[in-house]
Copies of this chain bind each other. A is one copy, B any other.
Amino acid sequence: MGSDRLAERLRERGYRATPQRLAVGRAMQRLAHHATADQVAEALARDMPGLALPTVYAALEVLETLGDVRRVATIGGTAYFETTARPHHHAICTRCGTIEDLEAEAGLKPVLEAARRVGFADARAEVTILGTCPRCRGRTP
């Protein structure tokens, strides 16, 4: 899933390989973990001064249909995106919204099967840990 092949993969699916899409794709790989549209835009501000936020959203949407990127489940608010490269789970701080990546295996087959039973085919499973992060822990309730 090298970023160099992104151009080619875009064209295969009938999309144009624009500099913006390629840049967003590269930025996502560089940020790796998870990023908001705003963070992506900021990361690219230097190289692409004119890059607009709606364009980032549009690019992320295309990358999503390609399967390169997906949205992370959060407790509302800002949308987080991540690359699909290496699957992992997330710990979200319910106070400040910080997201931490977790590299751990989970037993999700029963849940996936339950989902299939109610009609969700070819679905993916994701574990979300919700709690208080270290920094928020030592503060006023």
Contact = CB atoms under 8 A, between A and B. Distances in A.
A91 B129 contact: no
Given A72-B75, A104-B113, A120 B131 contact: yes
Given A75-B72, A106-B111, A111-B102, A130 B119 contact: no
A107 interface: yes
Nearest to A64: B94
A116 to B, nearest CB: 9
A1 interface: no
Contacts of A132: 120-123
Contacts of A114: 89, 91, 102-104
Size band of the A side of the interface?
35 or more
Given A100-B120, A103-B114, A104-B113, 13 more contacts: A76-B79, A89-B111, A102-B111, A102-B114, A106-B108, A106-B111, A115-B131, A120-B133, A121-B137, A122-B131, A123-B131, A125-B130, A127-B128
17 contacts: A70-B130, A73-B73, A73-B74, A74-B76, A76-B76, A91-B114, A91-B115, A91-B118, A102-B115, A103-B114, A104-B114, A105-B111, A106-B106, A120-B134, A123-B132, A124-B130, A125-B130
Interface of A: 70-79, 89, 91-94, 100, 102-108, 110-115, 118-134, 137
